[in-house]
Structures are given as C-alpha cells and as structure tokens.
Amino acid sequence: MNREIALKIVLALVGLLFVVMVWPLVLFLREEPALSMMMSLYVTLGVFLLLAIRNPSGSRSVIAFTAWSSLVHAVVMGTQAARGMVDRGELIGVAVLALIGIALIALAPAKQRSGGVATESAS
C-alpha cells in the first residue's frame, strides 16, 4: 500500500474517532466540565485531521501536533494509571493514543524543501 494512502486512511480513522467524541462531550458537559473541555479540543482536532486528508504535505504541523500530543497524553495517562491516580481501565486509552502517535509519526509526510529543485541550464 502506498504510504500516502495509508496516511490518509489513518487521518480519516483518527479524525472520525476524535469527532465522535462530541457525543460524550455533550453527555459530560455538566457532570465533568474539565473532561468536556479536553474533549472539545479533540473534536476540533478531529475536524482538522479530516481536512488534512486533502493535502497531507500541507498539513504537516497538524499531523505532527496530533502525533506528539497523543504520545505525551499517553505517557501522562499511563503514569497516572501506574501510580493509581486514575483507574487502570485508562490503560486502553494509553494504548490507543500511543498507537495513534506512532502511526502518524511513521507515516508523516516528508518535509518539503523551501528552495525548490535546482535545474541545470543547457548551454
């Protein structure tokens, strides 16, 4: 499978996963306001990931942010679960976020050259 097609599939899956978080966001709005605020960021990020499907190379920053923030979130949440600060069931989320981060880093589009390609002139 082509790397760009694989990236677009991952962007679509992660984008849809994040957008679907709008439902728990609405459910927890009054009960868990901090959780709702965090989910609102993921829902917004999901929309931008879906938009990135059209031009992954032009969306390197949002892809990199999603990858690295997912990894950092996984590390923090995993540490909290290991120390008993949050329920051990959160380890499922740790695995999902780590997988998202690793997949996006592995499939990230190459950095484009800023100067363009030099051409030789025929004399």
Crossing angle of helices 3-20 and 91-107, rounded to 10°:
150
Question: In sequence order, what are the residues at sequence separation of 6 or more whose Cβ sits closer than 8 angstroms to the Cβ of residue 84?
Answer: none
What pTM did the predictor assign?
A: 0.82
Instruction: Quote helix, strand, coil % in the chain, to nearest 5.
Output: 75, 0, 25
In a domain, 113, yes or no: no
In a domain, 82, yes or no: yes
For the chain, how many structural domains are there in total?
Answer: 1
In a domain, 121, yes or no: no
In a domain, 92, yes or no: yes
In a domain, 118, yes or no: no
In a domain, 120, yes or no: no
Tell me the residue range of the domain where 17 lies.
Answer: 3-107
Q: What tens-digit pLDDT sequence spans the chain (123 residues)?
A: 699 999 999 999 999 999 998 887 787 777 888 888 888 999 999 999 999 999 999 999 999 999 999 999 999 999 999 999 988 888 999 999 999 999 999 999 888 776 555 444 444
